[in-house]
Amino acid sequence: MNTSLAFIIAAIVAALLFRNRRRIQRMLASATATHPLLPRQGGNGVSWADARANGLTSDAFIVEQREGDERIGLDADTADEITRLMRTNHVDFDEARYLLVRDQMRRNGVDPDTGLPTDPNLVIFK
């Protein structure tokens, strides 16, 4: 009885996955295309040479050492945002990256000063 029930459930799950495979593929493709920690496909980035030419390098982030890196370069959107921060705030590359990370933390509900979530329901045990 139990093995036949498990087989029926597995068959139903397999049929549902097969029926919705296109929808699942689209969802996975859109999730991986927009995730900031996953590499972008299709060359949507700034090469290491272009980053160096545009001033997106510093002593702490040496683009020349990244030449053997398998990634295609910097994410284009992030590079544009860092360049904008450098121009508007009159800061160097490292300070612009710092400001960008603090802004991303705020947008994700994390206090940039403490690193703790800003959720009022947060309970911390010591």
Residues 40-70 pLDDT 10s: 444 567 777 777 777 888 877 776 565 566 6
- pLDDT grade, residue 39 (50/70/90)? very low
Could you give the CA distance from residue 64 to residue 48 in angstroms, rounded to a whole number? 8
Which of 108, 109, 107 has the alpha carbon at shortest distance from 118? 109
Which of 86, 70, 75, 85 has the alpha carbon at shortest distance from 51? 75
- What's the confidence (pLDDT) of residue 41? 47
Question: Could you report the per-residue pLDDT of 91-118, keeping only the tens digit for each?
Answer: 998 999 899 999 999 999 999 998 888 8
Could you give the CA distance from residue 105 to residue 109 in angstroms, rounded to a whole number? 6
Could you give the CA distance from residue 124 to residue 110 in angstroms, rounded to a whole number? 15
- pLDDT grade, residue 90 (50/70/90)? very high
Of 4-8, 13-17, 58-62, where does mean pLDDT reach its minimum?
58-62
Which residue's entry shows tokens 């920690």? 37
- What's the confidence (pLDDT) of residue 50? 78
- What's the confidence (pLDDT) of residue 63? 63
Which of 122, 85, 117 has the alpha carbon at shortest distance from 100? 85
Examine the pLDDT at 3 and tell me if it is beyond 50. Answer: yes
Q: Report the mean per-residue pLDDT for the chain.
A: 79
